[in-house]
Amino acid sequence: MKKLLSLVLFVLACLYLAAPVFAQVEVDDPEYYTKFQGQNRSINVHNWGDYISDGSDEGMDVIKEFEELTGIKVNYTTFATNEELYARLKGGGALYDVVIPSDYMIARMINEGMLEKLNYENIPNAHYTMESFLNAQYDPTNEYSLPFMWGTVGIIYNTEVVDEEDLGSWDLLWNEKYMGEILMFNNPRDAFAIALNRLGYPMNPENKEQIREAAEDLKDQKLLVQAYVMDEIFDKMIGNEAAIAPYYAGDYLLILEDNPNIGFFTPETGTNRFVDAMVIPKGAKEKECAEMFLNFMMEPEVALANMEYIAYSTPNQGTYDLLDEETKENEVLYPSQELLDKTEFFVELPTELNLYMDQMWTEILSTDEQYSKWLIPIVMILAIVASITINLLRAYRKRKEKDYLQTMDQLRKQL
Amino acid sequence: MKWLSKTYVGLLTAFLYAPILVLIVFSFNQSKTRGAWTGFSTRWYEKLFTNEIILQSLGNTLIVAVISSIFATIIGTMAAIGISKMKRFSRNMMMNVTYLPIINPEIVTGVSLMLLFVYAKQKLGIGVEFGFITLVLAHITFNLPYVILNVMPKLRQLDSHIYEAAQDLGCDRMQAFFKVVIPEIMPGIVAGFLMAFTYSLDDFIISYFVSGATSQTLPVTIFSMTRRRVSPEINALSTIIFLVVLSVLLIVNIYEGRKERQMAKLKVRERR
Amino acid sequence: MRQKAAAAPYILWMIIFILVPLALVVMYAVTTPDGQFTISYISQVGEYAPVLVRSVWLAFVATVICLVLAFPLAFIISRRSSNSQRTMIMLVMLPMWMNFLLCTYAWMTILEKNGLINRFLANFGIGPLEMINTQGAVVLGMVYNYLPFMLLPIYSVMTKISNSVIEAAQDLGANWVGVLGKVLIPLSIPGISTGVIMVFVPSVSTFVISRMLGGGGNLLIGDLIDLQFLGNAYNPNLGAAISLVLMVLILLCMSITNQFGGEDMEGVIK
């Protein structure tokens, strides 16, 4: 009887362990996370689309784990570009507790006083940050941000369409042979960086002249470009809709999973290297809860789950140590020092250049033919004139009808 | 001639239903990628019920739609009654303002409401956090005209003598109003409510500009998905929605058809 | 007197949530971020003339196509028995209930280079045709999404045209061109003008259809406004100026269409 009972217990225990529902993350200090348990708190997290492990593909559901561990509810929403995030924050309407912008945007936000300083006492896991990511250009004092992911930009191409001899440089994106097969970044910073680097200028332009020249190149390129996209490139590259697209290195690995005919290279003239880091915007209502979330995201196991899901490179030493040799040696994720030396970070541009770049970008997207500046006023005046004329004509016709009726009336009376 | 019109109707129907058919078919697709058929599976339907983001935004959408259409119906019905008693000039003025949100491009309405909320917060210090409240306020705003436009014609048809008759028969004003006037214009109120509810469920553009950190409606969530890939759970959800709407419409259709036949029978009997 | 007061909450609501926001749009359009008066934003809109022209042109084409498609369909439906009328209108209304983003997304699957149409055509050795990321695709998206808005008003007017009117015209010697030009079209003008507005306005201001089906390189006014408020080029003042121009443009178009008929927006509801 006893044996039977223990067998049943054993089986139950096995079931308990096997059931993924009960999977618990191993955290460094479980005590810490119980602070807000049962207080019904919630935080608003705003992240890039598809930028957290969500439990599909047998990975960890990071948000759910966090909610279960801490009892804090997470309202999770997504954005598509740094500039969109900036607009939402600047509008002042939406209050977020955690957002994850890229380097240059963080610098801009720090300068404009849009971020809260982090309280490191609440983030014991901050020590996992790799040394090379400390005192970065965008946050020299480490007061505002904790790095989340990093990576480089390169060109993803379809090996069945693109000839080998055309590879190697950004020129591939301007190659007329592949007209209509090329996708391009749908955000000004990334697109201009490519054009600038191709012209031999720094990726952070120094003056308007450089931006103007790059804009000319991008306008020329427009004829060859099939579409301006961001994350749409996943579907388009997997479905062989397009053959060439500049994008982030880690995403190449994801696309490769679904389409084996995909290649990747980093242009020899260098490229952009980015860091996306977690920050807390000014006005965050639940700063301590937000810091708890940051701490949770820095747990090596959690960061590993995110890394495996997103396939970008991790700036977390604890996570890096957990990786197998094969991943560590993956040139796409962790390029050689020689290549890294050729990469550039984006820095915050002076307002004037930023504005000019945005303007040129809109111009690139909007022009195909040149119209006169006066066209709109003229069209409007014409419309007003037409409207008045029709009204007058109508009044005239009515009066004539009335006259006619009156004459008829008179005639009838006379008869 | 007959077959020509039949083919024409057939072709247009095919045009209207082609994308819906694609949606439904691909909700049963094995793979996650769009376009390639890899086999039949119902796993997206199972996954749908564990996908919190989708379920939550579906819940938000429903709650916002219910609350905003109820408010819009109450305010709108009152407004219609008030407007119908106004002098011609002020009535025309009111109706012009009522048409404004319908005619104005949605994006302008959305942008202007966004500016209002930002302005109220920055300059006046009236903090309305973007999210649930702003969504409801915006939805009530664009729903109101539809309620008024549905109730107004009913009020115009209303025989004003009924109201007086009720008072003569001993009702006080309130009783006369609630027992006589309201039941008479009820069909208009219901139609207005349903229309407001539908528009609220379906609205994307205005919600996109006024939604915030805490609540996103389903269309806004779908929009953020279309920028990467729409997960097939959404296809599964819309297949379910399609079936629900289809069955509701079918029931209404059959019900109305039956009512009409009965009316016709009654008329025949009367004639006899 | 007391009944008139019932409109008070509505009046208050409309002032706060319709008139004040529109006034804010005007205000943002003519001031700099620090509150100085300026017309530079309005004049800057002139630089985007190509976008405005393209939007108006595409919306115009879509409106005409909708009209041409919807008019015969409305006529066919309105001549059926009331039972089958109801069924057919239901059939047309049903797609309106589906989320338009998803339908547009499904059109991507259909139109793509390796999409359903091209795969079908490839069986006959035709193609691949270039359909997605063109202006034609954008127009198709508009026609698909807004066709019911054209159909319903025209249909609701046409149900009021009795068959005997048409027969009378025929008896008086009109051929079908005459019936169409002298009877059907003039009598359905109120529905047509409502339909034109209901299709043109959302088409000219859309910002999703162009992005999904037009490949991002065919900016429309709606995209431009979105870019200024929630997009890459954060500049609400310029965005307000563009919105203002768009609004004026549409009011002008409205006043022109209104010259032709029904001012009471026949069939907006229903």
**H-helix or E-strand containing A184?**
strand A182-185
Residue of C nearest to A239 (CA): C114
C159 burial (CB, 10 Å; 0-12 / 13-18 / 19+) is: middle
Q: Do B241 and C98 touch (CB under 8 A)?
A: yes
Spell out which residues of chain B touch residue A64, defining contact as CB-CB under 8 Å.
Answer: 52
Chains with 3+ CB–CB pairs under 8 A to C are A, B
pLDDT at B37: 81
Q: Are C3 and B82 in contact (CB under 8 A)?
A: yes
Q: Are A100 and A266 in contact (CB under 8 A)?
A: no
The count of C-alpha atoms lying within 13 angstroms of the C-alpha of A414, restricted to the half-sphere facing its C-beta, is: 6
pLDDT band at A377 (very low <50, low <70, confident <90, very high): low
Q: Are A59 and A305 in contact (CB under 8 A)?
A: yes
pLDDT at A408: 84
pLDDT band at A19 (very low <50, low <70, confident <90, very high): very low
Q: Do B227 and A234 touch (CB under 8 A)?
A: no
Does the pLDDT at position A396 exceed 90?
A: no
Give φ, ψ of B194 to 5 degrees: -65, -40
pLDDT band at B38 (very low <50, low <70, confident <90, very high): confident
Question: Which domain covers residue A34, as residue numbers?
Answer: 25-148+276-329
Asked if residue A351 belongs to a domain, the reply is no
* Whether CATH 1.10.3720.10 fits C49-221+249-260: yes
Tell me whether B125 touches chain A (CB under 8 Å): no
Does the pLDDT at position A94 exceed 50?
A: yes
pLDDT at C259: 65
Query: Which of C51, C215, C252 is nearest residue A226 as measured by Cβ atoms?
Result: C215
Q: Structural domain boundaries of chain C? A: 49-221+249-260
Mean pLDDT of all residues in B56-76:
94
CA nearest to B205, candidates C208, A80, A79: C208
pLDDT band at B8 (very low <50, low <70, confident <90, very high): very high
pLDDT at B35: 65
pLDDT at A93: 60
**H-helix or E-strand containing A44?**
strand A42-48
Q: Express each pLDDT in A240-257 by its tens digit.
A: 889 999 999 999 998 998
Residue of A nearest to C228 (CA): A87
Interface confidence (ipTM) of the complex = 0.90
Tell me whether C115 touches chain B (CB under 8 Å): yes
3-state secondary structure of A152: strand
Residue of A nearest to C47 (CA): A373
Spell out which residues of chain B touch residue A42, defining contact as CB-CB under 8 Å.
Answer: 214
pLDDT at C11: 93
Tell me whether B34 touches chain A (CB under 8 Å): yes
**H-helix or E-strand containing A69?**
helix A62-70
Number of folded domains that form chain A: 1
Residue segments in chain C with a per-residue pLDDT below the cut of 50: 1, 262-264, 266-267, 269-270
C9 burial (CB, 10 Å; 0-12 / 13-18 / 19+) is: middle
Asked if residue A310 belongs to a domain, the reply is yes
Which CATH number is A63's domain given?
Answer: 3.40.190.10
Return d(Cα C177, Cα C175) in angstroms, integer. Answer: 5
Give φ, ψ of C120 to 5 degrees: -65, -45
β-pair partners for A150 = A275, A313
- What CATH number does the domain located at B51-230 have? 1.10.3720.10
Does the pLDDT at position A7 exceed 70?
A: no
